[in-house]
A and B are shown apart, each in its own frame.
Chain A
Amino acid sequence: MIELKRLSKVFDADSKNITAVNDVSLTIEKGDVYGIIGLSGAGKSTLVRCINYLETPTGGSVVFNGVDLGTLSHKELLKQRQKMSMIFQNFNLLSQRTALKNVCYPLEIIGTPKKEAEEKAKKLLETVGLSDRMNSYPAQLSGGQKQRVAIARALATDPQVLLCDEATSALDPNTTRSILSLLKKINTEMGVTIIVITHEMKVVEQICNKVAVIENGEIVEKGYVKDIFMSPVSDIAKELILPKNEGIKRVLSERVIRIAFDGRSSVEPLIANLILECHAVVNILGADTKDIEGTAYGQMLLQLPDDEAAVNRIKAYLDKKEVKYEEV
């Protein structure tokens, strides 16, 4: 559906070049909820703005439904953008319009008759659960409500793709969860392909099926979320996946491995047996479980003993049990 081919964006700022996106190739298929995760300044926003040509790439191409966006006239490009909506961290609603009128805006610019537009806007506001706040102005709504209005507005033109640039980063954890489940619902029920830009792994875990990890403008890792969770390769992916815990960071200098498992394996006998069989004591530094596309996945950080022989026994044991692990 969307193919990014060797996409690059170099900014010419104050006579020095900043490469914000560097040689990115990605294929997003219809129905995907594709996460693009990276730390601040990694080039996520620039990348997503290149996808709808809000930013003109300096290299490579964006192919949307077989059409190379770079070959289009400005007018044709505006048409394509109507099939590719976008929502933002700061909601970007029109402050002088009510929620209803905000949702009407994209319909207005394509010349939909006012009555028809309002009816559709009302339906969409119902879909996002805001039928009682249609005549409120953005200033009268909470962050989560504003993002719901923005989502309704983004859906007004029946887009095939929804681009979300840090759509939940300004929201508290509960609101984030409810917005994410709304997005998931839009994906499954309306068949909208979603691209989710975020710096938070928990966002990817909650709704994405695929993920690309971006660092310094380059994609360092990409694939199915569950695969990357089970065995992350890049340092940045490992960092993003690790359970966030102060105590863990402090002892990471010592010998620590991360083991990942899915719902099929039972972990407690594993650790108990490991200790018994390997005659070695391990210290559990942290553990958590997540639900990725309906399957439970877990991870555990184990501090290993200093004894090299014991470490080798543990690794052999884990290999035998086909448990994925890596040193962190």
Chain B
Amino acid sequence: MIEFFDNLLGTGMTEMYVNAIFTTVKITLLSTFLAYVIGFPLGIILYGTASGSIFPNKSVNAAAGVIVNILRSIPFVILLVMTQPLASVIVGTKIGDNAFIFYLVVAAAPFVARMIESSLKEVDAGVIEAAQSMGSNNFQIITKVVIPEAKPSLIIGSAIAVTTILGYTPMTYLIAGGGLGEMAVRYGLYKFDSKTMYISSVLLIILVQILQETLNHIAKSSDKRIRNQQNTHQKKEKKS
């Protein structure tokens, strides 16, 4: 099997591709996960502290908003360079895959926070009002009403987040990291091996499509707002 692919791709290349795929998937999923660990609570804060929301707080909202906006407006490469000292402290190194995950998280967390915020904002204010009228506390409103109601939109948001993060992975070539994107850049730019460049690019595209389609499908099938056809004829009012 490996031989077959090696003949096709070049000696030793199969293993390289497989490793590159693993590295890319690992970097993408880990960064997305960590970006959510930070971005999700931040998104809830942005949403909940807004005026007219569940626990309005002008100063917290303004502070969170400013941090998020500043981080989001710094181009990724510059952010990477700027946070290198921080990476040394937190990750122990400025280069390599782990350091790269750190840079991705710093860049993606504020982006994730904004997406979470906008998904939560879509939840019908009336439903929240109903929950409040039943005596729900703020924690219950967030965990039992707002997040479950926003679930389909949150999943679609995660598809956008994960594919965007994946789109940034080729930048690892700057700091000696690995993965499909790095491979495409290295072979295309420095080794003038366009075959490897195209193959790794196509693999990257396939990866994006798989992640996107899977998450969108989960979002769709979990959304109970979609009336399935089987039920349309049951619309008639039942009298008591």
Contact = CB atoms under 8 A, between A and B. Distances in A.
Interface of A: 52, 54, 75, 78-82, 84-86, 88, 90, 92-98, 105-106, 108-110, 128-130, 132-133, 136-140, 142-145, 148, 150, 153-154, 157, 163, 174-175, 178, 182
B238 interface: yes
Given A129-B238, A182-B240, A109 B132 contact: no
A94 B149 contact: yes
A78 B237 contact: no
Interface of B: 124, 126-127, 129-137, 140, 144-145, 148-149, 151-152, 222-228, 231, 234-240
A82 B227 contact: no
Nearest to A136: B231
B130 A92 contact: yes
Contacts of B149: 94-96
Nearest to A157: B134
Nearest to A128: B240
Given A96-B222, A106-B135, A144-B237, 7 more contacts: A88-B126, A95-B124, A97-B224, A138-B224, A140-B227, A154-B134, A178-B239
Contact of A82 (B135, B145, B225, B236): B135
A79 B135 contact: yes
B134 A82 contact: yes
Nearest to A86: B133
B237 A145 contact: yes
A92 B129 contact: yes
Contacts of A75: 137
Contacts of B240: 128-129, 148, 178, 182
A84 B226 CA distance: 32
Contacts of A94: 127, 145, 148-149
A138 B135 CA distance: 22
- Pairs A-B, 8 closest by C-beta atoms: A129-B240, A92-B130, A81-B135, A86-B133, A78-B135, A137-B224, A92-B126, A140-B231
Contacts, number: 110
A74 to B, nearest CB: 8
A77 to B, nearest CB: 8
Nearest to B236: A142
Contacts of A142: 235-237
Contacts of B133: 52, 54, 81, 84-86, 163
5 contacts: A93-B130, A96-B151, A105-B131, A106-B135, A137-B225
Given A92-B126, A109-B140, A139 B134 contact: no
B224 A139 contact: yes
Contacts of A97: 148, 224
Nearest to B148: A96
A140 B227 CA distance: 6
Given A88-B126, A94-B149, A139 B235 contact: no
Contacts of B132: 54, 81
A178 B135 contact: no
A96 B122 CA distance: 14
Given A94-B145, A130-B238, A139 B127 contact: no
